[in-house]
Structure 1
Amino acid sequence: MTIRNLDKMFAPRSIALIGASMRAGSVGNVVLKNLTGGGYGGKIWAVNRRAAEFGGRMCDVDAVASVSDLPAAPDLAVIATPPQGIPDLLAELGSRGTRAAVVITAGFGELGEEGRALQARMLAAARPSLMRIVGPNCLGVMVPGVGLNASFAHIAPLKGNIAFVSQSGAVITAMLDWAATRGIGFSHIVSLGGMADVDFGDMLDHLAQDPQTRSILLYVESIEHARKFMSAGRQAARLKPVMVIKAGRHAAAARAAASHTGALAGSDAVYEAAFQRAGMLRVKGLDDLFEAMETLSTRPERKPLGGERLGILTNGGGLGVLATDFLIEEGGQMAELAPETLAQLDAVLPRTWSRGNPVDIVGDAPAERYAAAIGIMLKDPNTDALLAINCPTAVVDNVAAARAVADAAEKSGKPVFTSWLGDLSARAGREVFLSRLVPTYDTPSQAITAFMHQVRYRQNQRLLMEIPPAGPAWPDRDLSRAREIVGRVLAEEREWLNEPEAKALLSAYGIPAVDTRIAHDGEEAARIAAEIGFPVALKIFSPDITHKTDVGGVALGLESADAVREAAGRMLTMVSAAAPGARIEGFTVQRMVSRPSAFELILGVVDDATFGPVILFGQGGTAVEVIRDKAMALPPLNRVLAEDLIRRTRISRLLEGYRDRPPADFDAIAGTLMALGDLVADLPEVLELDINPLWADHRGVVAVDARIRVRPAVSVGTERLAVRPYPSDLEGVIRDRKGKTYPMRPIKPEDVTLIDDLLAHTDPEDLRMRFLSPLRQLPRQLAARLTQIDYDREMAFVIFTDASMREIAAVGRLSEDPDRERSEYAILVRTDHQGIGLGYTLMQHLINYARMRGVGIVFGHVLRENHHMIDLCAALGFVREHIEGEPGVVEMQLPLRRTA
């Protein structure tokens, strides 16, 4: 369940407060005063068993003794009564027609087994009526635009366009205090509390569609339903900025790690990967959250960040240097001013100005000098945004300077950030900026942090909308071989693959691995070494030893059979002393691979309890936990996402080559990461995987050592992945009415050029019928949106003209609403492939897919003059519905199941 009945929660026509009180300071009294004092225009009832003692009126609203005495069913019930009676209250309210409730009361899931049982009863009571619940144990909800304040917050929020959703009521009250002093308003403030029902995914779905919400802020302590959160987050982030602060960044690991990957993959790193994949901006603490709020509340929509180069203007040279240092430390980029910009500045500034960025206009700079300099800098072609700094002096009017900067900021299309330093002397200048919607901060570092928030948000958005290129084909995986290896290990009731098995599994996915063989004793090891050729590496073979080097279980560069025998003897002695309880099953022998210019990398997979499999990349070797140069991403990966994962590490800069060391093969590294994504999608039994090291150089990659842990699958197929991968099982063929077959598969991001070709081969009138307006080429952002889809909520099938799959004959799309109540279809058949039954067959396929997904109604908006589509839909059982306010368009509907 997602957005169903949330309209009753956030735009109710009537409200009942159950547990209303006249006792000053009680929760029931504070909520009642907030409800009645917020300007809400609907009906409010107070429910209190002593209502008669108050003459049937409480805080100037009607009061009744019980839910049964309510004259009508309220849209929204706000409950502040003891927890034990709440399930019965919800059942009674639901039977009368109430569809939303805010349960402020605590005493549920947070109290252990007994509280969880009570929470289950509460949900069971709400389920028959599809009632939605915010809470329990929450501050409440506030929607200033409709005057709704169903909370016990101490301050009423101002009306605005920022939505704030938090698991913590305390964080909300702190935010309200901070925002009130700055005049910042909200569209929604929602305290989720225990998240028994309504969660972050539901709120993201609701707020993405809300026209009054321009930006979304989340305070997250935990995520319950990862795939729903990811789908909702990706959808919302495409439409408006989503910023998130995650609590508990440094919590201790829940379990001891059995591999390097497990040791590096803390839960916070996984959340970081999830937020980035969803296109959200992660901020680290409340200070950052407040700064993000400041930026969102003042950044006009017409001034998105067009690049990442910052210009700095200051009347204090030292402040400019400090700001520059902080920008570089944060990974930012200083603008390199164009020669013509420097010449223009030279003409208007004193001889002692800095002649570069940061632009120091000297301490005695009046407003006119600020105006002249900022006007020139904002026109500089190499500057994407500007930070203006003012240090108070006795000889200039910093308020006039603020007005000059604000004037220039309003005229420019580039973002301008400001920092007027000081306290009393700076307040008037800051007021100028606040009143003119120019972002202003107490210190330059805060301003730069806000700028970098926008930079990182822009990077995430670019990644979210990127159209990945169709890179060189990675070798086809041998899925039957992979499943045979994993099945044999599980049949033997083993948890870890041995090293040869692990490398064989990697090889099945096209990942090169060093040939490794098992020897039962030193003599056999010497014989195998002679067969594969010297020098060789000898390693202890034990299911109980994770890190062989730590116990003396590795010997490298052995040049002869005698050296292998001697090393085996020493190794047994050392390992027995270091790990006396370990089972020793022999040795592994592998030929030493000489790659002197290779980099040591680590690639791995760990199964997170919330988000499922996560892929790790970083600098490898024995000191990997000390170096901690790593980044993580959620599978599946395409080439763009794989390369972004690589470039989020420090070692990526070394991989580009330096001095006499050639660049590493990025395609091979990215391909290996993509192959790991395929592996975890294909094999739900894989729990943990380490490749450490993976050697990478200009010749490619090779896995030197690998560990893989498995368990019986606890989910089917790709259900454990937080992001649904490309559904290859939906590939197939489709037939026209004469029986000719055409290849068909789900759409891929690289199909964007084929879609352009489809439009080019389609008659303009056919395009008008499909898009309801003339269109010859898709804008890049729309092309990305239509080809890079969330396969969990959308599906598009492309039909190719022939087996070469180089031209598209038709495309059909289904877009589900979050509740799967309705799914909108759209199809386009190339003009020269019309009249042969492709459109009819494609519509049948879309209907069958929607039925398999459990969709309630398939519908489409069709021009009244598009008789062909209307007739086709009628033949398939669709009915025609009128659309209010759209006389030229009809809605064709096909019910697939009875809707609630």
Structure 2
Amino acid sequence: MSVRNLDRLFKPTSLALIGASKRPDSVGRVVARNLFNGGFDGPIMPVHPKHPAIEGTLAYPSVADLPIAPDLAVICTPPDSVPELVAELGARGTRAAVVITAGFGEGGNEAGAARRQRLLDAARPHTLRIVGPNCVGVLLPRLGIDASFSHIAAAPGDLAFLTQSGAMVTAMLDWAAPRGIGFSQVVSLGDMTDVDFGDLLDYLAVDPGTRAILLYVEGVTNARKFMSACRAASRAKPVIVIKGGRHAEGAKAASSHTGALAGSDAVYEAAFRRAGALRVQTLEELFDAAETLATASPARRGAADRLAILTNGGGPGVLATDALIDQGGRLAELAPETIATLDAALPATWSRGNPVDIIGDAPGSRYSAALEALLADPGVDAVLVMNCPTAVADPGEAAGAVIETVQAARAREIRRPVFTNWLGDPAAQASRRLFAANRLPTYDTPERAIRAVMHLVRYRRGQEELLETVPSIPEGHQPDTQGAREILRRAQDEQRTWLTEPEAKRILECYGIPTVRTRTAATVDEAVQVAGELGYPVALKILSPDITHKSDIGGVALDLESEADLRTHGEAILRRAREAKPDARIDGFSVQEMCRRPGAIELILGLVEDHQFGPAVLFGQGGTAVEVVKDKAIGLPPLNLRLARSLMAETRIYRLLSGYRDTPPADLEAIALALVRLSELAAELAEVAEVDINPLLADSKGVIALDARVKVKPKEAVDPTVSPAARLAIRPYPKALEQEGTLLDGTTVKIRPVKPEDEPAVQELYRHLTPEDMRLRFFAPKAEIGHESAARMTQIDYDREMALVGLFPDEPGQIFGLARIAADPDGRTAEYAVAVRSAIKGRGLGFLLMRRILDYAQRRGIKEVHGDVLTENRRMLQICGELGFERRLDPQDSQVVKVVKTFE
């Protein structure tokens, strides 16, 4: 739904407990005990028709008898009573409820599902927000609210924990309590009938009391909302996820290699990565990651995984190195200057390399000198400092020296992350507490420390991907969407599930993916004729809508050099096909020219539709053994060249594609472009259920698809009134908004949505604003906008934001104006901003862009667009007046006018 009224959930001033009980071991009894002993400062009003008091507090027989409308109601009554109670509470003014009761359709129960709908119908007229049903409850430790039936309370802190599983609440609190870990909010979401992950991520993204958001996810309800909310939240603070059910790879039999490889967990992995969230596997790792991201100094922009290890023991240093390599990290190569500095400061027996072993008797001064040298090395991205207890050195002294050195480095603006690993137990506990008190991440084993290092590396890479400048896609290709649809409709009309191989390849050609020439033949004689026209050698394949894996039944013959060859193999293929699949319809053969690309690497590209996240793109090592090799990666469309390259880099085959020994690198851009084209196909062809391109040959000359399969949805499964792009979890570039306009002097201007690759042009736009125009735009002197600001303006979530740019047709690479709106998570209000190059002001571009962006806002259902304008910015105030904005003076600042445009 939205964040509406979630403040009543998280900041209630009054509570009602409906279903409070005195019956031992009942949920109502446990929730009452927890609520009344939590320390909440406001009124708690128990409701029970028979008991005059609960936990020593006056009880009320019904909701109607409550003296005030509670902000938050907690309901643990039988399920049939809940919808009526919610309606009654909503009518009285309650705007949030936690429904602990189960029985609302879990497991597919029809009566429960009907009850669930009645619950939603009761809440909707009052915009009353519901957490649950079938949940453990909500804990808000800073307010002293424990509205749950947990056996243990949550300590106050600044971590938010959101979980679908009620059992995970109690497991988490049990795990956290002895470790002194506290929470800002703990929310058991249960069945997520109303409030879901997307709503809570939007709310907590701007909660100043929450520094990190921890999720236990089994499934999401609205994939697009989840992706938008998670991306927005992860830009503000760490979002760390555990996904339950990692190995539930789907019960249905897969009909293609892509379907077999793209299990649901792989799609979730892709979604989390794309949204900037860090995925972990265990509770311990969840908290380690939260502490790491909260306490470690942020890695430098562009910093990779080059780690320096500083230790007083060789063995632990070796263990840390092994763990680092196992997890994909690298040891930093120390600069000669660093080696020289360490030579001067350390005993002659030091390791003279990385790991830097400063010998077991190292005092604090030796740690300090070595750490200072490593932090000054530009080739070092992070440092792990280790200590093994010895009888000749004080670990506490060493810890103090490390802390002082880090603090001194920070004072000099040297902020490389420093991790600590003090081994042992009694000897190291005091040092670990000292590190924690000084906000230095500390771990008890080398493996945990290295895992934390890699958490930071992965998290930082994810954040940079959200802001990285995207390369442009080569101009010139326009997909033949209509041609592709005609092929698909013909198959639907014939009630075919699979296209023929030639049809599948024609679909790929419509989207600019190169394929080998392929023709069909009904008989062996026709195949001979076609082969003569194509030229020998040729490949011959059985053509049947009922045989998708042709190689499995001996339905493929390669390198046929002559007519005699073709006739012999053609008859044999027919015989094997009829023996293996006697009921299959045999339409003849596909004949294709033999593609000779010695040294080319076989890849697989695929497309499959996930029931939660919609279309997903697959990339990996191809060939007949793809399901055995399982070297693959999954990404969510829309893809651009950067995202495609990042997807490729997740696989082992990528290292071969990058070149090895005397083999030149494959054309990586051609492979990435094929992935982008496949992503476009996913966004435009809702009729396509699956695509399998295997193999796609790749070498230094480019790519070419040798075989392809396309699965078609039945006609009744595709709603022609719904945009194909609506299936995607991430809204693609809205091409329909491309348009033209005319300036006051008659000049034609092209208007289109901003693209991620526009970042350099947007920076150039602001460089062409005068200092005065920059001051009026940003309310303060500003020379230019940097990479991060420009990336945020161009890498937008089209589902929540929109930016239209103005270009002149004869200068397509230059942006002359930009107008943007950013909507709140509810989609009800939006803030606008506009900028036009100073040299062309007065020609009407700013007015035109504003009018078009307002038209868009109204079509999207936004009710209000607003902005702040300096009173001296007369031209902007004039434009706003002409566009129907109302002026409202800011009572806090007489130099600022708030302008507001409302829509009916």
1:625/1:319 CA distance change after superposition, 3 Å: same
Aligned to 1:877: 884
- 1:60 positional shift: 5.4
CA distances 1:776-799 after superposition (whole Å, capped 9, x unpaired):
311110100001111111001111
CA distances 1:91-143 after superposition (whole Å, capped 9, x unpaired):
00000110011111222232422222211111111011000011112122223
Moved more, 176-185 or 613-622: 176-185
Rounded Cα–Cα distance in structure 2 between residues aligned with 1:60 and 1:12 = 22
Rounded Cα–Cα distance in structure 2 between residues aligned with 1:595 and 1:302 = 43
- Give the number of aligned pairs: 893
Question: What are the equivalent positions in structure 2 for 1:214-233 lying under 5 Å apart?
Answer: 214-233=211-230
Rounded Cα–Cα distance in structure 2 between residues aligned with 1:181 and 1:885 = 47
SS of the residue corresponding to residue 621 of structure 1 reads coil
Structure 2 counterpart of 1:104, from 65, 86, 100? 100
Aligned to 2:65: 69
Structure 1 counterpart of 2:252, from 252, 255, 260? 255
Aligned to 1:89: 85
Aligned to 2:658: 656
Rounded Cα–Cα distance in structure 2 between residues aligned with 1:75 and 1:384 = 49
Question: What are the equivalent positions in structure 2 for 1:710-859 lying under 5 Å apart?
Answer: 710-711=712-713, 712=715, 713-714=718-719, 715-737=722-744, 739-859=746-866
- 1:449 positional shift: 0.8
- 1:90 positional shift: 0.3
Rounded Cα–Cα distance in structure 1 between residues aligned with 2:247 and 2:227 = 23
Asked whether the equivalents of residues 305 and 385 of structure 1 are also in contact (C-alpha less than 8 Å), the reply is no
- 1:185 positional shift: 2.5
1:24/1:400 CA distance change after superposition, 3 Å: farther
Q: Which amino acid aligns with 1:10?
A: F
- 1:296 positional shift: 3.8
CA distances 1:273-314 after superposition (whole Å, capped 9, x unpaired):
111111111112223213213324533679999542111122
Aligned to 1:547: 549
Rounded Cα–Cα distance in structure 1 between residues aligned with 2:335 and 2:427 = 34
- 1:756 positional shift: 2.4
- 1:533 positional shift: 0.8
Aligned to 2:684: 682
Asked whether the equivalents of residues 304 and 414 of structure 1 are also in contact (C-alpha less than 8 Å), the reply is no
- 1:728 positional shift: 0.6
Question: What are the equivalent positions in structure 2 for 1:452-851 lying under 5 Å apart?
Answer: 452-473=454-475, 475-711=477-713, 712=715, 713-714=718-719, 715-737=722-744, 739-851=746-858
- 1:18 positional shift: 1.3
Asked whether the equivalents of residues 249 and 265 of structure 2 are also in contact (C-alpha less than 8 Å), the reply is no
Aligned to 1:355: 352
- 1:409 positional shift: 3.5
SS of the residue corresponding to residue 199 of structure 2 reads helix
Rounded Cα–Cα distance in structure 2 between residues aligned with 1:529 and 1:798 = 52
SS of the residue corresponding to residue 540 of structure 2 reads strand
Asked whether the equivalents of residues 212 and 290 of structure 2 are also in contact (C-alpha less than 8 Å), the reply is no
Rounded Cα–Cα distance in structure 2 between residues aligned with 1:424 and 1:829 = 65
Aligned to 2:172: 175
CA distances 1:479-499 after superposition (whole Å, capped 9, x unpaired):
222222222222222111101
Rounded Cα–Cα distance in structure 2 between residues aligned with 1:735 and 1:305 = 42
Structure 2 counterpart of 1:269, from 220, 245, 266? 266
Asked whether the equivalents of residues 44 and 62 of structure 1 are also in contact (C-alpha less than 8 Å), the reply is no
Rounded Cα–Cα distance in structure 2 between residues aligned with 1:41 and 1:500 = 72
Asked whether the equivalents of residues 17 and 45 of structure 1 are also in contact (C-alpha less than 8 Å), the reply is yes
1:592/1:306 CA distance change after superposition, 3 Å: closer
Aligned to 1:402: 399
Rounded Cα–Cα distance in structure 2 between residues aligned with 1:884 and 1:18 = 43
Aligned to 1:390: 387
Rounded Cα–Cα distance in structure 2 between residues aligned with 1:24 and 1:423 = 43
Moved more, 461-470 or 125-134: 461-470
Question: What are the equivalent positions in structure 2 for 1:48-197 lying under 5 Å apart?
Answer: 48-52=48-52, 54=53, 58-59=54-55, 61-111=57-107, 112-197=109-194
Rounded Cα–Cα distance in structure 2 between residues aligned with 1:757 and 1:415 = 34
Unaligned runs of 5+ in 1: none
- 1:817 positional shift: 0.8
Asked whether the equivalents of residues 526 and 562 of structure 1 are also in contact (C-alpha less than 8 Å), the reply is no
Matched, 1:891 2:864: no
Asked whether the equivalents of residues 234 and 276 of structure 2 are also in contact (C-alpha less than 8 Å), the reply is yes
CA distances 1:218-258 after superposition (whole Å, capped 9, x unpaired):
11000110000111111111121111111111113231111
1:300/1:414 CA distance change after superposition, 3 Å: closer
RMSD: 2.0
Rounded Cα–Cα distance in structure 2 between residues aligned with 1:132 and 1:296 = 32
1:366/1:25 CA distance change after superposition, 3 Å: farther
SS of the residue corresponding to residue 564 of structure 1 reads helix
Rounded Cα–Cα distance in structure 1 between residues aligned with 2:583 and 2:299 = 68
Rounded Cα–Cα distance in structure 1 between residues aligned with 2:887 and 2:20 = 48
User: What is the TM-score with the length of structure 1 in the denominator?
Assistant: 0.96
- 1:877 positional shift: 2.3
Rounded Cα–Cα distance in structure 2 between residues aligned with 1:886 and 1:78 = 42
1:501/1:377 CA distance change after superposition, 3 Å: same
Moved more, 438-447 or 639-648: 438-447
SS of the residue corresponding to residue 106 of structure 2 reads helix
- 1:609 positional shift: 0.4
Q: Which amino acid aligns with 2:857?
A: A
Asked whether the equivalents of residues 387 and 418 of structure 1 are also in contact (C-alpha less than 8 Å), the reply is yes
SS of the residue corresponding to residue 823 of structure 1 reads strand
SS of the residue corresponding to residue 389 of structure 2 reads coil
Rounded Cα–Cα distance in structure 2 between residues aligned with 1:320 and 1:85 = 63
- 1:160 positional shift: 2.6
SS of the residue corresponding to residue 348 of structure 2 reads coil
Asked whether the equivalents of residues 20 and 47 of structure 2 are also in contact (C-alpha less than 8 Å), the reply is yes
Asked whether the equivalents of residues 749 and 784 of structure 1 are also in contact (C-alpha less than 8 Å), the reply is yes
Aligned to 2:20: 20
Asked whether the equivalents of residues 3 and 202 of structure 2 are also in contact (C-alpha less than 8 Å), the reply is yes
SS of the residue corresponding to residue 660 of structure 2 reads coil
User: What percentage of aligned pairs have identical amino acids?
Assistant: 56
CA distances 1:387-428 after superposition (whole Å, capped 9, x unpaired):
122223334332333333333334342222222223333323
Aligned to 1:327: 324
Rounded Cα–Cα distance in structure 2 between residues aligned with 1:399 and 1:116 = 61
- 1:199 positional shift: 0.5
Aligned to 1:39: 39
Moved more, 465-474 or 527-536: 465-474
SS of the residue corresponding to residue 155 of structure 1 reads coil
Q: Which amino acid aligns with 1:159?
A: P
Rounded Cα–Cα distance in structure 1 between residues aligned with 2:116 and 2:479 = 46
Rounded Cα–Cα distance in structure 1 between residues aligned with 2:585 and 2:321 = 57
Q: Which amino acid aligns with 2:856?
A: Y
Unaligned runs of 5+ in 2: 410-414
Rounded Cα–Cα distance in structure 2 between residues aligned with 1:426 and 1:161 = 26
- 1:471 positional shift: 4.2
Asked whether the equivalents of residues 338 and 373 of structure 2 are also in contact (C-alpha less than 8 Å), the reply is yes
Matched, 1:379 2:376: yes
